[in-house]
């Protein structure tokens, strides 16, 4: 039985690696040689540097990477702190009608973003934050708060109430208790939520297409989509090289924080 389980895992792992293999070997091909042979056969690494340079220059991937880095770091940090405050207030401070407030906060995830996209666009234009980095940070923060509050609320529910009571007896107020005790205790959950939200923001295409236009403001997925469009005029190896560049930061983020991520998924190990 164990041998069968390992065989199934190996097969699933190979299937998962096939798209990565195809991306790597075809992103390394020279544009002139692409299409002369099957996509399954490598053709050396001669074109990888040239394709990277073309994607960064023609597709303005570098500007998109910088903008998305700002969005994927600033917005999740703000959302995680706000979500932790909301979870702390609902579970530890036991505010009145706590469940009602939780439902109101989490209800933002019930409706798909496509339903409010048009009024959101009109509101952004009216207020004057359309095609601005502030506007992108704002919307990414707002859509990240409900999930952050949900996870941190569940995490704080696993911490005994006497921790807060002991801090109160020592003279700590609610803010001191939150920032000095509960936040450090929830470090693993904070990292897990941050990684999930940062990955979501990094991979977003819809909001980037709808709320940004300038190349210095657009997220990287939007610039990548423009690179492979009819007007982008880029060959497939260049597009694949751009996709490889876009994928690397999230991979590095996960590898650097995987210990906190796995602990945070357990929601209770800190």
SS3 readout for 32-98: CCCCCCCCCCCCCCCCHHHHHHHHHHHCCHHHHHHHHHHHHHHHHHHHHHHHHHHHHHHHCCCCCCH
**For position 270, what pLDDT does the model report?**
41
CA distance 190 to 179: 13
Residue 88: which of 23, 153, 148, 5 has the closest Cα? 153
The reported pLDDT for the residue numbered 74 is 96
Please report the pLDDT score of residue 231 as a whole number. Answer: 52
Whole-number pLDDT of residue 242: 84
Q: pLDDT digit of tens for each residue in the chain (270 aa)?
A: 788 888 898 899 889 888 888 888 888 887 777 766 677 777 777 777 888 888 777 667 888 889 999 999 999 999 999 999 999 988 888 888 888 888 888 887 778 888 888 999 999 999 999 999 999 999 999 999 999 998 888 888 888 888 888 888 888 888 888 998 898 888 888 888 998 899 999 999 999 999 998 888 999 888 888 777 645 556 788 888 888 888 888 888 877 777 766 666 665 444
Separation between Cα atoms, residue 49 and residue 240, nearest integer Å: 12
Give how far Cα 219 sits from Cα of 37, 98, 114, 137, Å: 34, 36, 18, 11
Q: What is the pTM of this model?
A: 0.84
Q: Which domains does the chain have, with CATH numbers?
A: 1-46 (no CATH), 47-266 (1.10.3720.10)
pLDDT given at position 266? 61
Cβ within 8 Å of residue 246, ≥6 positions away: 61, 65, 220, 221, 224
User: Which of these, 247, 158, 147, 250, lies nearest to 190 by C-alpha position?
Assistant: 147
Look up residue 72 and give its two tokens. Answer: 């994927």
The residue with tokens 């921790």 is 163
Owner of token pair 């895992």:
9
User: Tokens 């109160």 label which residue?
Assistant: 168
């Amino acid at each position: 039985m164990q041998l069968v389980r390992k065989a199934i895992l190996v097969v699933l792992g190979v299937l998962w690696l096939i798209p990565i293999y195809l991306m790597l070997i075809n992103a390394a091909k020279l544009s002139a040689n692409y299409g002369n042979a099957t996509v399954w056969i490598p053709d050396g690494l001669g074109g990888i540097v040239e394709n990277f340079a073309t994607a960064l220059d023609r597709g303005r991937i570098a500007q998109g990477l910088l903008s998305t880095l700002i969005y994927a770091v600033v917005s999740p940090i703000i959302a995680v702190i706000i979500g932790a405050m909301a979870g702390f207030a609902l579970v530890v401070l036991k505010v009145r009608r706590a469940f009602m407030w939780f439902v109101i906060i989490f209800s933002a995830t019930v409706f798909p973003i496509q339903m409010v996209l048009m009024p959101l666009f009109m509101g952004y234009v009216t207020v004057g934050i359309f095609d601005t980095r502030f506007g992108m940070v704002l919307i990414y923060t707002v859509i990240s708060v409900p999930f952050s509050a949900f996870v941190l609320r569940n995490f704080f529910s696993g911490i005994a109430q006497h921790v807060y009571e002991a801090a109160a007896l020592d003279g700590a107020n609610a803010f001191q208790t939150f920032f000095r005790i509960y936040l450090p205790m929830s470090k693993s959950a904070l990292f897990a939520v941050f990684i999930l939200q940062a990955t979501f923001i990094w991979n977003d295409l819809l909001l980037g297409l709808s709320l940004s236009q300038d190349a210095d403001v657009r997220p990287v997925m939007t610039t990548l989509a423009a690179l492979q469009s009819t007007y982008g005029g880029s060959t497939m190896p260049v597009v694949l090289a751009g996709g490889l560049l876009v994928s690397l930061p999230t991979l590095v983020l996960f590898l650097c924080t995987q210990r906190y991520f796995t602990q945070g998924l357990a929601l209770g190990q800190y």
